[in-house]
Structure 1
Amino acid sequence: MTTFPARAARTALLAAALLGAGTLAAGAEPAAPPRPAAAARPQPGAKPVVLVVGDRFATALADGLEADPAIAVSRTTGDGFGLTKPTFADSLPTIRDRLARADKPALAAVMVGADDRDALSDGAIRFEPGSPGWAKLYGDRVDQVSKLFRDAGVPLVWVGLPAVRSAELSADIVRQNGVIRDRAAKDGAAYVDSFDGFTDAAGRYSPVGPDADGATAKLRRADGLGFTRAGARKLASFLAPEVARLGRGAAAAGAADVANLTIERARGFDAALDVDVNAQIRREAARAQGAGAPPVPFAALPQGPAAGPVLPLTAAPVAPDGQLASLVVPAGAPVGAEPGPPRPGRADDFSWPKP
């Protein structure tokens, strides 16, 4: 597991380095502590790897995902990660290094923002949280994180933050979720919302509610921020469609996928599709005549007339003997055999049935 260094941990590392190396010269800048190396992780085998990146909420998300035996969960989480923290720039190489490892994730989920309450500056102006300038700079940092996964070719899902007990903090979370959702759509990443999953019917924060199986359970801890085991599983359930898509993709990869064959492997298949239809018809015609008979050329087949007889469209119809078909025959004149009297059950029998 790769973790982001918290501010206190970074200070402790720096102090230890100073004690070991002696005091610094006056006015010298202390060297930044080294970034923690990515922890080695055994190969997950056939299981697709889901990478979770973020803060304390992401840690709960990873805990819930680990209940799924069909996937392998890798995490780069810790309280040191935040889009408004001074250590944000140091966090980007940590994510990039994780994506460059051999066990490349098949899916990544980023969940961050629990402690994003710091002001942001563009170098000239300082913007307070919630202001339009702050929202723009916050969105720019969302873009920076999304770009890491896009460059690595890893599908990314941004998970929106859940409701919390503090009404003021929940209002901030709603604004943050709006920025993340809009930027994720622009960056080509997916976004799933978890806010309403931890509220009551009136939309207020609720520590109790239906769990991932639909049973009523305690979902949140007493601090109004953390998650119970059932809450972590419910949080992970919002990623269920994306995780299920991974399973379907793995099953499809095991079958023969003609569309993904290389040219060398598909050459025989392509040749089979390159069929001269006319030649195939000639072969079938020859086969119908006999195995040893030569094929009949199309030029030897009987040719029909170029045009048929001219038939006027306005001439009156005539009978076969040349008389008009509408000719009125006088009464009593012989016209041919009579059908005879009607018989019961025949179409011309109009007699009333006897009671």
Structure 2
Amino acid sequence: MARMSISVQSLRRVLVLFIGALLTIAAPDASFAQDPFTEFFGGLFGGPPHGYGHRGEPRVRRIMPHRENRGPTYWHGQTDNPRRAAKRTDGATTDQSQTAAATQPTFFVATVGDTLGQLLADGLKEGFSDRPDVAILRMGKESSGLVRDDFYDWPKSAKEIAADAQKINVAVVMLGSNDRQAIQQGQESYEPLSPRWREIYAARVDAVIAAFKEKNIPVIWVGLPVMKNERLSADMAQLNEIFKARAAHADIPYVDLWDALTDEHGQYSAFGPDINGQIVKLRSADGVHFTEAGARSVAHFVEGEIKKYYDAYRQQAPVAGVPAATPSEESKDAAAPQQPVAAAPANGQPIIFRSPVGGPSAAPTLPERPAVGPAQQLTGVGSATELAKKTPAVRPVDPGAPAQALVRHVFVEGGDQSPRDNRADDYSWRPPANAATPPN
């Protein structure tokens, strides 16, 4: 009994010490946690002192932060291994530096113009984002145009851009939205879109184009879009006529954006399809500028012309003085749509089609067909189980037969066909047989 009581007392002491150890353990920091069971029993069975490691340091377990939404470090070229990091910084050329050197821009596109031209440049940057060797240079000027040369002289600036040390492969021009102003020359002032105003304005357009062509830089002129204000839109349409005419005279591409930003009735529309076909807002609230999606859509129409010069540059097709390769005659023939050619009749005479209304003569009549044809046996004469076969002999076509005469009359001579009773073209009205006779 004494042994039993001693064992119970020893067990109680162990439990008291265990509970005391749980109550006295305190976490040193909010980001740390201890394992009281391991530490307590480790101390009982000859381990280190309670709550301490082999070197007298507190035995703690660090709780690592949640890493579910963190991207892998190797994606950005990082590493947690200092040896690997040292290998990258020892002066040797790495794969990342080689990739960066291989994707340096080699084809430069200068986008010049007003605010619309700057928005176009933003759309082109996004459009060519998958081509690191193409650089879009944003060289526009807000509130500029070809009228106020005292504010910004675009013919002069175009010469400076073309003569700059930065080699330009293509120049994209889009301006004119601020040019509804009078042109001042000396003491004379010319009203917008007057005959003399048009002459001066066209000469300035030619000066901008010539500044780039003198340096053998291809030019792409982009027309102005439809505007929300009807009067402004009408003036922009007249400016587009000047741009289009001067572009044709200089033999440069002209990109027409008018129909691309109108609705099915040819009117201004702030909404339209983007490059993915989704209906989004393309124009800003002022009815002049583009939204981000609108700039991307407008740039889509210009990218095609830029890629022509880009492909020629990649193929090393252009020669000195000729920026773009001229397509061969075979490619022209292949690209040109095939026009349908009418087949000539056998006798060499042209077929003349006439209106079927009021034919030159009455249509030939066909013989009446019986309602019920003659009865024929389904089995042959010699065999009672074999079906009758069609004779292989083909009767020659009689050109004088009534059916052939009717075909010639309707489809060659352009005549009409007389209606037949109870047929679909019989429009004659017949009163019913049981109709009552009206009184006299």
**Normalization by structure 1: what TM-score?**
0.57
Distance 1:64 1:77 in 2: 14
Letter in 2 for 1:156: V
Correspondence for 2:111 = 52
Quick one: structure 1 residues 250 and 183, their matched pair in 2 at CA, closer, same or farther if it must change by over 3 Å? closer
Which residue of 66, 86, 92 corresponds with 2:125? 66
Distance 1:188 1:140 in 2: 16
Distance 1:203 1:234 in 2: 18
Quick one: structure 1 residues 44 and 81, their matched pair in 2 at CA, closer, same or farther if it must change by over 3 Å? farther
Distance 1:86 1:96 in 2: 14
Quick one: structure 1 residues 202 and 139, their matched pair in 2 at CA, closer, same or farther if it must change by over 3 Å? same
Q: Secondary structure of 2:117's match?
A: helix
Correspondence for 2:302 = 239
In structure 2, runs of 5+ residues without a counterpart are 1-101, 321-440
Residue 75 of structure 1: CA displacement? 1.8
Residue 121 of structure 1: CA displacement? 4.3
Percent identity over the alignment is 37
Q: Secondary structure of 1:178's match?
A: helix
Are the equivalent residues in 1 in contact too, given 2:155–2:204 (CA < 8 A)?
A: no
Are the equivalent residues in 1 in contact too, given 2:146–2:153 (CA < 8 A)?
A: no
In structure 1, runs of 5+ residues without a counterpart are 1-42, 262-355
Residue 81 of structure 1: CA displacement? 2.2
Distance 1:44 1:175 in 2: 43
Are the equivalent residues in 1 in contact too, given 2:229–2:287 (CA < 8 A)?
A: yes
Q: Kindly report the root-mean-square deviation, in angstroms, between the aligned alpha carbons of the 2 structures.
A: 2.5
Which residue of 255, 262, 274 corresponds with 1:199? 262
Correspondence for 1:224 = 287
Residue 80 of structure 1: CA displacement? 4.2
Equivalences for residues 165-184 of structure 1 within 5 A: 165-184=228-247
Are the equivalent residues in 2 in contact too, given 1:122–1:137 (CA < 8 A)?
A: no
| Matching of residue 112 in structure 1 with residue 171 in structure 2 | no
Which residue of 190, 202, 218 corresponds with 1:139? 202
Residue 219 of structure 1: CA displacement? 0.5
Correspondence for 1:342 = none
Which residue of 74, 81, 86 corresponds with 2:144? 81
Distance 1:250 1:144 in 2: 26
Asked which structure has the greater RCO (Cα within 8 Å, sep 6+), the reply is 1
Distance 1:97 1:130 in 2: 29
Deviation per CA, 1:73-95: give whole Å up to 9, x if none: 01211224211114366333332
Are the equivalent residues in 2 in contact too, given 1:139–1:183 (CA < 8 A)?
A: yes
| Matching of residue 211 in structure 1 with residue 274 in structure 2 | yes
Q: Secondary structure of 2:201's match?
A: helix
Q: Secondary structure of 1:77's match?
A: coil
Equivalences for residues 1-355 of structure 1 within 5 A: 45-67=104-126, 68-69=128-129, 70=131, 71-87=134-150, 90-121=153-184, 123=186, 125-253=188-316
Q: Secondary structure of 1:81's match?
A: coil
Task: Count residues in correspondence.
Answer: 216
210-219 or 139-148, which moves further after superposition?
A: 210-219
Deviation per CA, 1:264-311: give whole Å up to 9, x if none: xxxxxxxxxxxxxxxxxxxxxxxxxxxxxxxxxxxxxxxxxxxxxxxx
Q: Secondary structure of 2:166's match?
A: coil
